[in-house]
Amino acid sequence: MASSADTGTYLLVVAVGTVMAVVVGLVLQRSGLGFLREVFDDRDAAQSVSRLLTVAYYLVAVGFIALMSTWDPFEVAGTVQYVVTKIGSMLVFLGILHVATLAILARIRNNNRVQQMAANLRGGGGRRQPRDPGKTQALESGGS
């Protein structure tokens, strides 16, 4: 495989893979924010989790792309086939990474929904109301 995997080919694979990862990452970040706002009642928490997930996604994706650009699990005939095989494997990996992220977020959302339903059944209404220190103090001192 040394004949078709020169430095230019490696750089092409890394460049195309990085562009794919960035495009997918941007789509995931924009589309995922609405989903995260549903999971987390707090808008700031949703944005923070979105940023953290985006950073994790980029680290894993770019790391895999760097590894994949130099790893040759099987023999491929020419440069074009080599690049297509590498890009295809990167796309499969990015798809698996996306599905795994969605599964984790769906689990978090389902756990939040179960907790909210349990709170509703107990009569808690599902959401905590922010405490008003002045009102709490007045109630404790016997005033209204």
Which segments of 2-42 does DSSP mark as H helices, in order? 7-39
Query: What is the value of pTM for the model shown?
Result: 0.64
What mean pLDDT value characterizes the chain? 78
Closest CA to 66 of 24, 21, 1: 21
CA–CA separation, 108 vs 49, rounded Å?
Answer: 12
pLDDT of 3 strictly over 50 = no
Torsion angle, CA of 40/44/50/53, rounded to 10 degrees?
A: -90
CA dihedral sign, ordered 71, 77, 81, 85: negative
Q: Is 108 exposed, middle or buried (0-12, 13-18, 19+ CB in 10 A)?
A: middle
Q: pLDDT tens across 20-50, in order?
A: 889 888 888 888 888 888 877 788 988 888 8
Q: Which residues of 36-66 are buried (b: 16+ CB within 10 A; e: fewer)?
A: bbebbeeeeebeebbeebbeebbebbbebbe
Q: pLDDT tens across 121-139, in order?
A: 888 655 555 555 554 455 5
Q: pLDDT tens across 100-117, in order?
A: 877 887 887 888 888 888
